[in-house]
Structure 1
Amino acid sequence: MQRVHLQGIAKSFGATKVLEQIDLTIEPGEFLVLLGPSGCGKSTLLNIVAGLEQPTGGRIHFGDRDVTDLEPDQRDIAMVFQSYALYPTMSVRRNMGFALKMQGLSTAEIAAKVADVAKLLQIEHLLDRKPAQLSGGQQQRVAIGRALVREPQVFLLDEPLSNLDAKLRADMRVELKRLHERGRRTTLYVTHDQVEAMTFASRIVVMDKGRVQQCDRPEVVYAKPANRFVAGFVGAPTMNFLEGELALLSDGPALRLKENLLPLPGLWASRGLQVGQKVVLGLRPEHIGLAAADDVGTCPGHVVMTEPTGPDLYVRIRLAGQEVTSRMSPGQAPSPGQKVALELDGKAASLFDVADGQRLN
């Protein structure tokens, strides 16, 4: 297992800057996920680590070795692509063993390694089939197996599950997590799917416009997003945002939205925040709930629409002239048009700067 260190990585295509000053360290055996919208630079960064693209600036180290100028086959990596990239005329067995053959391993060594990985991935019965005879999920297992047999120091995956249907994606998420827990290979994984990121990652790197917006454990990225972009990108449904002024009631802090005061029990100013300061309040849908009665400490609202999803009910509510989404249990089920009293969980609230969107609390 190798530590991967990226120092000052930049990349431009002509006048277009794709990556700017990326500094990251992937610890040995860590599963680091690059998460962000299309065009944020995450796949370009992965390709630079792989040696498929050269950085415009910065250096890449695998352990103590500077690999910035080395070809991909000199970096001891294995990569799994979104498109599987299997050789259509070769059997699964030959697809998995081809790289080992190019390395000069004996037939017996290749057969043993392929058999071990096939057993691990439960594809022994597929070894003599061609890719065209396999389902999408089976092809993806073969692509992963082809990478695993090489026993690389660094494992790179570029949206490998995006071509699978929802059930297969869920199944493969479980399998990939198990594989990593068994082998503990240093892994860099690219995705725009936040469920994958939250499932796999030791740490998540959220990227936007070629920059790292936040790098932390999944639970920290979710609960304490570094800025408004991260808060809005991570989480489904997205975080609710309300812009107003901090206020102080007799029983605690609140947010003033025009003529409305929204109590925020559990929240209090930190890092120099002051009463009257303009802020953007961020609350996850699960932190807006129905109150037992419309009394002190609650906020009046009315239901606009409901979206049942099975285990959860998403309720769109008009609150202080703005719409917010609340995650409720199906048993609560308020009706469209119904007036409700809401409780806002101030302990879980995020406050962001109005101007630059950075976290304030």
Structure 2
Amino acid sequence: MNGVELRGVTKAYSGLTVMENINLEIEDGAFLVLLGPSGCGKSTLLNMIAGLEPVTDGSIHIAGRDVTALEPDERDIAMVFQSYALYPTMSVRRNIGFGLKMRGMPKADIDNRVGEIGELLQISPLLDRKPSQLSGGQQQRVAIGRALVREPSVFLFDEPLSNLDAKLRADMRVELKRLHERLGRTIVYVTHDQIEAMTLATRVVVLDKGHIQQADTPENVYRRPANRFVASFVGAPTMNFMDGKLVQYGDGIAFDGGMGQLPMAGLPAKARDLIGQSITLGARPEHLMFDDTGVNARVLLAEPTGPDQYVRLTVAGTEVTARTGPEQQFKSGGDARIMVDGARVSLFDPQSGRAML
């Protein structure tokens, strides 16, 4: 395997286990994002891959080599930090080429490589400036260039865009995606930003409390979450949850939360096996549809965002959020009729939180 493989990786501090039995294969050329809330273990996992943190148990393999006991500079990786970590007294040119100089590469070869990286990242006019003369986005490009110039097997990014403003983050996301498509190198990327995860990743690993909750494509993580934690963490506004059961509703199926029935159009046929069982219904805001044939709901608040609007409602005794286009008009305290797109909802076990459908 030319990517990265973690086999039974466990990390403990003073007897307290913070990561337990992590098994993960990262394919060569993948852009894998480690996503999760603060304290979930994503930076710890990245640091173990980098060799900055020793593993308590298990092994780590990079490009087919067992690197578990190797130092960071022996693992053929390059890391980009949140803080950029540039040498303030060195020019951009020297910052990018410093690692090659320490490895004894001839100056002419270093100059050629730095020139290539400068053109690739569109920072050639900045090569003779100092970091203090650069914007945050420019400094981040230099930090990325310093990693790229070494041509490692794996790039590790630890929340590299978190210090940038919203517009620069959006611009750098585009640059990183283009860079990955152009180079095809393996990237492991840590973030708590869902937009970064969804737009950059070929595969997302959602972590919580030191365990992998789901490892899948961004589309499946969003559309088919493995459990209620993933469903609640991924997506903004968050998924709507309602506890109740499925019941027969004419020729179809409805959700009964104890204070009225909510019809569900398009539920898969296997959902009939769950009729009468206690479930937690999970429906994202775009899965709630305004339809004259639906049930009555009371509008609490409408929040226009430009291309969309989020409408807070009470339906079947539960407060939910629906997403719709800007053309519809809603009045606080008014009525609306709503249905659920059963083809796209998730059903969870109310005890374990695992997906049932």
**What is the TM-score with the length of structure 2 in the denominator?**
0.98
- State the AA in 2 paired with 1:318: T
Contact preservation (8 Å) 2:239, 2:283: yes
Q: 2:338 aligns with which of 339, 342, 351?
A: 342
Structure 2 residue 300 is the aligned partner of structure 1 residue 311:
no
* Superposed CA offset, 1:156-204 (max 9, x none): 0000000000000000000000000000111100000011011111110
Residue in structure 1 matched with residue 157 of structure 2 by the alignment: 157
Contact preservation (8 Å) 1:246, 1:277: yes
Residue in structure 2 matched with residue 302 of structure 1 by the alignment: 298
Residue in structure 2 matched with residue 43 of structure 1 by the alignment: 43
For residue 83 of structure 2, give the secondary structure of its aligned residue in structure 1. Answer: coil
- State the AA in 2 paired with 1:339: D
Q: Distance in 1 between matches of 2:329 and 2:124?
A: 49
Q: Distance in 2 between matches of 1:306 and 1:12?
A: 47
For residue 348 of structure 1, give the secondary structure of its aligned residue in structure 2. Answer: coil
For residue 300 of structure 1, give the secondary structure of its aligned residue in structure 2. Answer: strand
Q: Distance in 1 between matches of 2:42 and 2:273?
A: 34
For residue 207 of structure 1, give the secondary structure of its aligned residue in structure 2. Answer: strand
Residue in structure 1 matched with residue 167 of structure 2 by the alignment: 167
Contact preservation (8 Å) 1:303, 1:339: yes
Structure 2 residue 238 is the aligned partner of structure 1 residue 242:
no
Q: CA deviation at 1:272?
A: 8.5
For residue 114 of structure 2, give the secondary structure of its aligned residue in structure 1. Answer: helix
Residue in structure 2 matched with residue 186 of structure 1 by the alignment: 186
Q: CA deviation at 1:321?
A: 1.5
Q: Distance in 2 between matches of 1:133 and 1:151?
A: 27
For residue 264 of structure 1, give the secondary structure of its aligned residue in structure 2. Answer: strand
Q: CA deviation at 1:259?
A: 3.5
Structure 2 residue 316 is the aligned partner of structure 1 residue 327:
no
Q: CA deviation at 1:63?
A: 2.7
Q: 1:352 aligns with which of 333, 348, 351?
A: 348
Residue in structure 2 matched with residue 195 of structure 1 by the alignment: 195
**What is the TM-score with the length of structure 1 in the denominator?**
0.97
- State the AA in 1 paired with 2:322: S
Q: Distance in 2 between matches of 1:299 and 1:272?
A: 21
Unaligned runs of 5+ in 1: none
Matches within 5 A, 1:11-160: 11-160=11-160
Structure 2 residue 221 is the aligned partner of structure 1 residue 221:
yes
Change (3 A) 1:181 1:268: closer
Q: Distance in 2 between matches of 1:271 and 1:87?
A: 60
- State the AA in 2 paired with 1:95: N
Contact preservation (8 Å) 1:2, 1:154: no
Structure 1, 306-315 or 91-100: larger mean CA deviation: 306-315
Residue in structure 2 matched with residue 282 of structure 1 by the alignment: 282
For residue 174 of structure 2, give the secondary structure of its aligned residue in structure 1. Answer: helix
* Superposed CA offset, 1:304-359 (max 9, x none): 01111111111101111111011111111311111000121000010000001000
Q: Distance in 2 between matches of 1:124 and 1:274?
A: 62
For residue 343 of structure 1, give the secondary structure of its aligned residue in structure 2. Answer: strand
Q: CA deviation at 1:15?
A: 3.0
- State the AA in 2 paired with 1:304: L
Q: CA deviation at 1:269?
A: 5.9
* Superposed CA offset, 1:240-268 (max 9, x none): 00110111112211111114111111114
Change (3 A) 1:271 1:301: closer
Contact preservation (8 Å) 1:265, 1:346: yes
Change (3 A) 1:272 1:306: closer
Residue in structure 2 matched with residue 205 of structure 1 by the alignment: 205
Q: CA deviation at 1:271?
A: 7.8
Q: Among the aligned pairs, what percent are the same residue?
A: 61
Structure 1, 182-191 or 270-279: larger mean CA deviation: 270-279
Unaligned runs of 5+ in 2: none
Q: Give the alignment's Cα RMSD to 1 decimal.
A: 1.2
Matched residue pairs, number? 357
Contact preservation (8 Å) 2:246, 2:256: yes
Q: Distance in 1 between matches of 2:103 and 2:274?
A: 65
Residue in structure 2 matched with residue 6 of structure 1 by the alignment: 6
Q: CA deviation at 1:64?
A: 2.4
For residue 137 of structure 2, give the secondary structure of its aligned residue in structure 1. Answer: helix
* Superposed CA offset, 1:116-137 (max 9, x none): 0110110011111111111110
